[in-house]
Amino acid sequence: MLVKNQLLSLKAYEPGKSVEEIKKDYGLAKITKLNSNENPYGSSPKAAEALANLSSQFAIYPDGGAMNLRAKVASHLDVDEDQIIFGAGLDEVIQIISRALLTPDSNTVMASPTFSQYKLHAVIEGAEIREIATVDGCHDLNTMLSQIDSQTRIVWICNPNNPTGTYVNETALKNFISRVPKETLVVIDEAYYEYVTAEDFPHSLSLLKDFDNVMVLRTFSKAYGLAGLRVGYGVGNKEFIQRLEVTRLPFNTSRLAQIAAEAALEDQDFIQGCVKINEKGLNELQAFCKRHKIDFYPSQANFIFIKTDKGHELYESLLQKGYIVRLFPNGIRITIGTEEENKNLLADFEDIIVKAGTPN
């Protein structure tokens, strides 16, 4: 079969070893999963309650427009209902945007490292990719601007950035957007928005009033703890969103996902509680790194990136103690766990440092 040429350079997403496999291979009784930025406290109990009696509806297609969820999200964000597009996770919204905008004669600008899916879809669409190295883990906005030309369809700002955890502040973001041509879409991926505590973090939704070429992405997978149900969304200019809707599959979000997301959104106390505990855990981990002179990027998310050339060794040492983290070419990313998981992690990390030295 002759597939698109650009697929030949790609590999299908490889799920890592399962927790069960790792337990077996390493002879571990317990595994703490700190590799996917999931909410260690799960989701609001209200989400589970809302799903309890849905089995009679499994045979019925969901509401393709997700109208009830749409109304709740619109009111929560104070935007119009027709400014929102839903996806089976934010991953799908990223795919929809890429499919709708990118062509082989266009290009797209993004940071490196950043969230992997922006690049993947650009490759599939055959677009040129302009990756701009981060500086101290931060988007280099000036260099990104200098790479935008008349063929640039999308510029991606991951805020806070995955995997570095750093953020672009309000002034810098506004200044950047005001200098991007109005034909180029600026996508602001705020998958970790709920966790942010910095006071100068952008009020990105208010930018939508002034800029038709801005789109803001959010998800129910991270702080809301619904990664297994797949629902995320983008907010933007009405006319633009209606164009994107053409490329969305009619029943992309399931009934279960919609109903759980509605219930989770209503339970803001749960989110606030998780955010507080995350902040504490993040502070403890950052203080630990400072104390041990471990190089890290200051984070506004529910993870921290440790810069090290000994990532592989550190990854293995942590795995032997029962922690799965995420390995990158120049370091590791650790998700903030529960209070107890974090306490145990710091004790075990200390032990690793005593035996093997500081991972720099």
Smallest gap from residue 260 Cβ to ligand PLP (A): 13
Q: Which two tokens stand for residue 10?
A: 């790609």
Smallest gap from residue 300 Cβ to ligand PLP (A): 12
Smallest gap from residue 98 Cβ to ligand PLP (A): 13
**Residue ranges in 180-219 that form contacts with ligand PLP under rule CB under 6 A:** 189, 191, 219
Distance CA 356, CA 353 (A): 5
For the purposes of burial, counting CB atoms within 10 Å of the CB of 178, is it exposed (0-12), middle (13-18) or buried (19 or more)? exposed
- Beta strand ranges found along 134-268 (DSSP E): 152-158, 185-189, 214-219, 232-235
Residue among 180, 253, 189 nearest 210 (CA): 180
CA distance from start to end of the chain: 48
Distance CA 20, CA 30 (A): 10
Candidates 89-97, 139-147, 205-213, 342-350 — which segment interacts with ligand PLP by CB under 6 A? 89-97
Distance CA 335, CA 341 (A): 10
Phi, psi at 189, each rounded to 5°: -90, 110
Residues in CB range of 196: below 8 A, 6 or more apart: 160, 167, 300, 301
Q: Which two tokens stand for residue 89?
A: 């996770």
Dihedral angle computed from the Cα positions of residues 92, 97, 98 and 103, in that order, rounded to the nearest 10 degrees: 150
Which residue's Cβ has the minimum distance to ligand PLP?
89
Member of 39, 162, 164, 253 binding ligand PLP (CB under 6 A) = 162
Check residue 262 for interaction with ligand PLP (CB under 6 A): no
Member of 158, 173, 177, 188 binding ligand PLP (CB under 6 A) = 158
Smallest gap from residue 291 Cβ to ligand PLP (A): 28
**Residue ranges in 22-61 that form contacts with ligand PLP under rule CB under 6 A:** 37
Smallest gap from residue 75 Cβ to ligand PLP (A): 21
Residue among 196, 200, 176 nearest 187 (CA): 176
Cβ proximity to ligand PLP: between 28 and 120 the closer is 120
Smallest gap from residue 287 Cβ to ligand PLP (A): 24
Cβ proximity to ligand PLP: between 109 and 352 the closer is 109
**Residue ranges in 123-152 that form contacts with ligand PLP under rule CB under 6 A:** none
Candidates 87-95, 144-152, 171-179, 195-203 — which segment interacts with ligand PLP by CB under 6 A? 87-95
List residues near ligand PLP by CB under 6 A.
37, 89-91, 115, 158, 162, 189, 191, 219, 221, 227, 232
